[in-house]
Structure 1
Amino acid sequence: MYSFLNSKRSLKERLDLFVTSAQKIYPDIIGIAVTRMDEHDNLYSVYRSADYGDNFPTFISSISKSPRLSKMRTSLEPSIIDNMLSHQSSVKSIHFRLLQSNCISSMACPIYTNDTFIGVLFINAKVKDFFSEKINYFTTFSILITLLISDDFNNKKAFHSIVKTVLLLSHHKDPETQNHLKRVAEYSRLIGLYLAKKRKCDGDFVDSVYPVSYTHLRAH
């Protein structure tokens, strides 16, 4: 049941196993979605379970538009919606899309590392009052999953920093090339976020485009 903790598996594989394990115990679980936050407080999904289909949004506008997510960002405490059919949300279009995948109840958990908020883990189920009745179980699993995600985030961040440092050091006598690398990498990331907003790419692309742009430029 806890094989999703195996570090030899990719993060996606471990998250897929988490969903499978949870669904064996609670068949009403639809799945989970993991989102990351950009510098403008927008969320973009980097993982979503297959059962959402295309109904979990790739890009969610600024969390300041959602009182629920804004409060969670400050409190770093999970938030539960027992019945999305009756919940009045400021981001109604998102809830409408989730309802199309029969998401009736929702549990949102903050993802943070070193007390810094970096995203949200969403868990959805097909019946109302689902998470309130099983709060201990899903609080435990949400903690395990957010630990996996924050660990993956920190590993990627460290790798990106190493790549960036090595490549910039190779141009330490050429400040203009350094600045060019920075500009193109930043532009690449912004284009990735724009494409995610237009549903033209996924969050994995957004996460990888920044360091890849450095490497590509160095190769040329």
Structure 2
Amino acid sequence: MLCNQIEQIHRNLNDTFPALCRIAVVLYDKETDMLKTFTNSTRDATPIQYYSSKLSSSESLSKLVETREMRIIDDITAISSDRRHTKLIKAAGYRSSLTFPVFSKDSLVGLLFMNAKEVNYFSAERVEQLKIFIHLISTLLIAETMPLKTLKGAVATAREFSRIKDEETGAHLSRMSHYARVIALEIGEKHDLNDEMIEYIFQFTPLHDVGKVGVPDKIILKDGKLTDDERSIVQTHVHIGKKIIDTMVDQFDLDGLDNVQMLRNIVLYHHECIDGSGYPEGLKGEEIPIEARITSTADVFDALTSKRPYKEAWSNRKALAFMAENKGRMFDADCVDALFASKPILKGIQERFKEDKLG
């Protein structure tokens, strides 16, 4: 995992650069213009986790990305800013910083941050010594994200050619992945989810129903109620999905993709229920991987609050009330509580990712 690699690099740098107390990477999401904490190695301070902000909200970072140049801040205490990230940096005792934009060809992948607890730490001489490690971490970050892009692209292609166009619209997948991230951030500390794991949950949740490519269109697109036999056929999509993921991982040589087991769990177990009434294995409670519990909650919430050919959209209040009634039975209680704690954010996601005529 990238976090382990960065921690190892940090340990190796410790003797030469003892005041270098933080190395952190944030990812950039072009769709939302968000910078999101991804992984870090931090000494003598509380790690900054579960944080995100718009790139466009920071003039200095936007300029940094535009020019593709390294930014050095010699004295962080001299910065006058009400931004939460600046306050967190100051509170942690960091006094100087180095920021480097990471690009893959012309696409911004993320930003690399280095911090020290000494003013004027990143002198020209030190920066020259650190350059090889800066470029090493940048290369590792690109290598980390490329297999995921390959996998998601392959799955998207499979979906397009399979003509699966029922409920799995682009807007639905965007909303549910953002709901999943909201849930994961809310319960992250309790369930030992770090930023890297949360990012993979966000990236993997849209792939949950890839197995539907193997279910006949006449069943998937049926307007009326499914027969028991048809329902049994639909339920095979979780096993089909896992086989598809396994095949793609093998064919595209993606065995090195971090957290690929998390993806398998999402695809296979997102229809399990807390009380054991779900499928395919009838798992109960914490037997169900947390990433699958998160995905299930996000998926159902969006299904309830979205218009379908057979139903009108429920209000958020009605959907949340239904889920509250069924937490501990269908849904994980912590995941449902996380939705309740994030009502304004849910509304913002719905406003951003509205359905259009093409889905």
Letter in 2 for 1:137: Q
CA RMSD across the alignment:
2.5
Alignment: residue pair count = 206
Task: Determine the structure 1 residue equivalent to 2:165.
Answer: 176
After TM superposition, give the deviation of residue 194 of structure 1 in Å: 3.6
Task: Determine the structure 2 residue equivalent to 1:51.
Answer: 43
Partners of 2:4 and 2:47 in 1: CA distance: 21
Correspondence 1:136 to 2:128: yes
After TM superposition, give the deviation of residue 36 of structure 1 in Å: 0.8
| Structure of greater relative contact order (alpha carbons < 8 Å, 6+ residues apart) | 1
Greater alpha carbon shift after TM alignment, 185-194 vs 124-133? 185-194
Partners of 2:203 and 2:106 in 1: CA distance: 24
Normalised by the length of structure 2, the TM-score is: 0.52
Partners of 2:101 and 2:183 in 1: CA distance: 25
After TM superposition, give the deviation of residue 20 of structure 1 in Å: 1.0
Give CA-to-partner distance per residue, 1:10-36, whole Å, 9 cap, x none: 322211111111222111011211111
After TM superposition, give the deviation of residue 100 of structure 1 in Å: 2.4
Q: 1:79 to 1:155 in 2, by over 3 A?
A: same
Correspondence 1:148 to 2:159: no
Give CA-to-partner distance per residue, 1:68-115, whole Å, 9 cap, x none: 101101001110111111123462x32221222221111011011112
Give CA-to-partner distance per residue, 1:57-78, whole Å, 9 cap, x none: 4223212222210110100111
Show the 5 A alignment for 1:56-67: 56-67=48-59
Partners of 1:127 and 1:164 in 2: CA distance: 48
Task: Determine the structure 1 residue equivalent to 2:286.
Answer: none
Task: Determine the structure 2 residue equivalent to 1:85.
Answer: 77
After TM superposition, give the deviation of residue 184 of structure 1 in Å: 4.0
Correspondence 1:162 to 2:154: yes
Task: Determine the structure 1 residue equivalent to 2:256.
Answer: none
Task: Determine the structure 1 residue equivalent to 2:93.
Answer: 102
Give yes or no for contact 2:76–2:97 (8 Å, CA) kept in 1: yes
Partners of 1:203 and 1:33 in 2: CA distance: 11
After TM superposition, give the deviation of residue 217 of structure 1 in Å: 5.6
Partners of 2:101 and 2:205 in 1: CA distance: 28
Match of 1:69 among 53, 61, 67: 61
Partners of 1:120 and 1:208 in 2: CA distance: 20
SS in 1 for 2:78: coil
SS in 2 for 1:31: strand
Partners of 2:109 and 2:187 in 1: CA distance: 21
Letter in 2 for 1:185: L
Give CA-to-partner distance per residue, 1:162-184, whole Å, 9 cap, x none: 23333554x33xx434x516444
Give yes or no for contact 1:44–1:203 (8 Å, CA) kept in 2: no
Match of 1:27 among 18, 25, 43: 18
Give yes or no for contact 2:39–2:196 (8 Å, CA) kept in 1: yes
Task: Determine the structure 1 residue equivalent to 2:219.
Answer: none
Letter in 1 for 2:91: Q
Partners of 1:126 and 1:53 in 2: CA distance: 10
Letter in 2 for 1:79: R
SS in 1 for 2:3: helix
Partners of 1:24 and 1:185 in 2: CA distance: 47
Q: 1:52 to 1:183 in 2, by over 3 A?
A: farther
Letter in 2 for 1:190: H
Q: 1:52 to 1:112 in 2, by over 3 A?
A: farther
Q: 1:160 to 1:24 in 2, by over 3 A?
A: farther
Partners of 1:83 and 1:68 in 2: CA distance: 15
Q: Is there any run of 5+ residues in structure 1 with no aligned partner, and where?
A: 1-9
Task: Determine the structure 2 residue equivalent to 1:7.
Answer: none
- Aligned identity (percent) is 20
Partners of 1:114 and 1:55 in 2: CA distance: 30
Letter in 1 for 2:174: E
Task: Determine the structure 2 residue equivalent to 1:126.
Answer: 117
Of Structure 1 and Structure 2, which has the larger fraction of its residues in strand? 1
